[in-house]
Amino acid sequence: MDERDLIACAKAGERSAMGELYELHARRVYTVIRRLVGDDHLAEDLSQEAWIRAFEKLHLFRGDAAFGTWLYRLATNVALNRLRRSSKRRPVESAAELPRVARAHDDVIVTRRVLTQALDQLPPGYRRVLVLHDVEGWTHNDIAEALGCSPGTSKSQLHKARARMRKLIAPEDSGNGGARGEARL
């Protein structure tokens, strides 16, 4: 049964078809949300919420766009909405409070694990722009629309986020100017 058939059966309420759709896309949905929110438990709750919403709204999916595109956008919206709400209650992080996560010495190639750890340590505002642009491949216009900001703000946040990532990954050689080490990514 191909994906189109699965969607048709899922729309009719067939639980096994829903399960197969879940199997096909569960990793991607969870990953997108996990990277945006930077927290395992929250990502678990939100990905579950995203799936339930997806099945609730499946009757609205006609099939012109790829199911994955529709689903990942829905999942992203769930995560962004939660971040938007929680950011209103969280005090602004300062650079001085930023923890260091990685010990990437000069001759160490940074692993995926270190990258993921560093992503988790970014302030939420930086993280969501960096994830959407550099990981998920969104354009600044798309990001600006989703976040309700200007494309210029999205660019500025991205560059600050990358600079912060560099400090998190190799803090000792990412100063402004001066001799830099040879840490490699």
Segment 105 to 144, residues that bind other proteins, using CB under 8 A = 110, 112, 115-116, 119, 130, 134-135, 137, 142
Binding to other proteins by residue 8, rule CB under 8 A?
A: no
Output phi, psi for 84, to 5 deg.
-60, -45
Give residues 27-46 in contact with other proteins (rule: CB under 8 A).
27-31, 34-35, 44-45
The answer to whether residues 17 and 65 touch, using CB atoms and an 8 Å cutoff, is no
* Nearest distance in Å: CB 85, other proteins: 6
* Nearest distance in Å: CB 63, other proteins: 8
Beta bridge partners of 109: 184
- Measured from the CB atom, the residue of 116 and 153 that comes closer to other proteins is 116
Q: How far is CA 182 from CA 35, 107, 166, 175, 185, in A?
A: 28, 7, 12, 13, 10
- Given 48, 117, 124, 153, the residue binding other proteins (CB under 8 A): 48
The dihedral built from the CA positions of residue 5, 24, 55 and 63, taken in this order, carries a sign that is negative
Give residues 55-114 in contact with other proteins (rule: CB under 8 A).
55-57, 60-65, 70, 73-74, 77, 81, 84-85, 88-89, 110, 112
Q: Which tokens belong to 56?
A: 């609730």
Residues in the chain: 185
Give residues 165-184 in contact with other proteins (rule: CB under 8 A).
165-167, 169-170, 174, 176-180, 182-184
